[in-house]
């Protein structure tokens, strides 16, 4: 008898991280988590498209595209038209501005100290330690797990 495969880990960004002062929605946090997880592993220039984001986050393509539009409008992500197997394919990546915001958060520097509801980032916990993964167990319960450094 076949056993069901475990669900994949879903990257998640801590809500205290607000790149450029942009307040993340739940779907934006999941989508941005994919890029931040790759950045945390040192693969900051890897480009990702909508099909990969749908697979990893388990969101519909419409939800992913709405989240991407919000992140693009806030200049959190960048987009380029690249030649892929099916012609020209839009791909997305973290710009240097977002990477700088991640580094600043890891050093405990406020992005915008006057913004309402801003979490205190003065503790020495690095941004990479704040990034967690949500994993659903076989019973359907969600658990959190930190990304490897």
pLDDT tens figures, 92-121: 888 888 888 877 776 655 444 444 434 444
Stated pTM of the model: 0.62
Interior CA angle at 107 toward 94 and 24, to 5°?
A: 45
Domains and CATH numbers, the chain: 11-111+119-146 (1.10.10.10)
Calpha distance 11→91 (Å, rounded)? 19
Render pLDDT for 33-86 as a digit per residue (tens, 0 to 9): 888 877 777 765 567 888 888 888 888 999 999 999 999 998 888 888 776 666
């Amino acid at each position: 008898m076949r056993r069901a495969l475990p669900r994949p880990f879903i990257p998640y960004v801590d809500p205290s991280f607000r790149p450029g002062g942009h307040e993340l929605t739940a779907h934006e946090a999941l989508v941005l988590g994919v890029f931040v997880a790759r950045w945390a592993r040192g693969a900051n220039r890897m480009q990702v498209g909508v099909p990969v984001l749908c697979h990893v986050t388990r969101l519909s393509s419409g939800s992913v595209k709405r989240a991407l539009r919000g992140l693009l409008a806030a200049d959190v992500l960048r987009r380029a038209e690249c030649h892929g197997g099916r012609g020209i394919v839009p791909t997305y990546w973290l710009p240097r501005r977002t990477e700088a915001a991640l580094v600043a958060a890891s050093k405990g520097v406020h992005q915008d100290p006057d913004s309402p509801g801003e979490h205190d980032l003065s503790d020495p916990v690095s941004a990479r330690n704040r990034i967690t993964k949500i994993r659903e167990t076989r019973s359907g319960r969600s658990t959190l797990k930190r990304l490897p450094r």
